[in-house]
Amino acid sequence: MKKKVLIIGGNGYLGQHLLQSLSESQKSVEDELLISFTYHSVPPPQLLLQSFPKAIPFQVDLQTGQGFDSISHTFGQPDVVVNCAALSVPRACEAEPTVAMSINVPSSLIKWLSSFGESNTLLIHLSTDQVYEGTKSFYKEDDKTHPVNVYGNSKVAAEEYIFANWSNFAILRSSIIFGPQTISPVSKSLPIQWMDSVLANGQETTFFHDEFRCPIFVKDVVNIIQVLADRWFSDGEKIQLVLNVGGPDRLSRVQMAEVVARVRGYNTSLIKPVSASSIDRGVKSPADISMDITKLVNNTLFLLEIKDLRTNVIPRSRDEIH
């Protein structure tokens, strides 16, 4: 029987990269996956539908759960659900905390999955490094979560809801995800592409020197998700896993911009360091949420598949900017 994968928010940045990887990974008709994805309000662009013609799109409202019944009738119970959907702009979450909670806490998704009975679906849920307070370096998964903004609080609430209401899951606390643009370009600003564009224009630009993250290449995140899905397909053993999903380097925005400048050959004097405290972004931002990824790189599930994660830098080549 063919396995079914549902990507919540498949028209977004990570969702599209995952759609592409899953579609390209099919070796034969016999082991072909059945793939579907959700979108919220705007129908997927024709370029996206044409690029992944076998992926079935469904319109779903995560706040109300409207649209899940259509998936039940047309696609059935998925073997794996990857939840990439979120209101992830911290300022937007701060402005509308009720909306942020209703979207980011996957209550309607889990209630729908529960309608099938036992938890025979693996839920892979994308969380964030912003669950941490940001007062030290290299947080571990068992460190206390103490977010400083609504976005982080909503993602902690999501993790707690999953723990309480589903028994088969992997929660991936992702840092900044970077990489090439998607096949059907997303409208949101991508960090490396934005840095590339302002530096290419010879424009002096300020970057924070005192906020630290562990940016991760998008295809590493996709590989982690696929390893988890393949394991569930092969042995059906339920898991309850929380993982820090970041790259190996603790970097400020200044350091990220400097790498882009070196790779692209731009003048690094265009990069003007400033303190994050000097700019009012309308939302509090954690200073240092760099993550310890020892649990990830030492996990026997991932040792062979993502061994390159230990040594990647950001970005590794020009191809990872465009």
Distance (Å, rounded) from C-alpha 92 to C-alpha 291? 25
pLDDT, tens only, 90-127: 999 999 999 999 999 999 999 999 999 877 999 999 99
pTM, to two decimals = 0.93
Residue-wise pLDDT tens for the chain (322 aa)? 789 999 999 999 999 999 999 998 875 455 689 999 999 988 999 999 999 999 999 999 999 999 999 999 999 999 999 999 999 999 999 999 999 999 999 999 999 999 998 779 999 999 999 999 999 999 999 999 999 999 999 999 999 999 999 999 999 999 999 999 999 999 888 999 999 999 999 999 999 999 999 999 999 999 999 999 999 999 999 999 999 999 999 999 999 999 999 999 999 999 999 999 999 999 999 999 999 999 998 886 665 454 444 334 445 555 555 5
Which of 104-113 are b and which e, b meaning 16 or more Cβ less than 10 Å from the residue's Cβ?
bbbbbbbebb
Q: Which domains does the chain have, with CATH numbers?
A: 4-187+215-249+290-320 (3.40.50.720), 191-209+251-278 (no CATH)
Distance (Å, rounded) from C-alpha 244 to C-alpha 296? 7
Q: Is 80 helix (H, G, I), strand (E, B) or coil?
A: strand
7 CB-near residues (< 8 Å, 6+ apart): 15, 18, 19, 35, 36, 37, 38, 81, 82, 84
Q: What are the backbone dihedrals phi and psi of residue 8, each rounded to the nearest 5 degrees, phi first?
A: -80, 120
Q: What is the DSSP letter of 180?
A: S
pLDDT, tens only, 180-206: 999 999 988 899 999 999 999 999 999
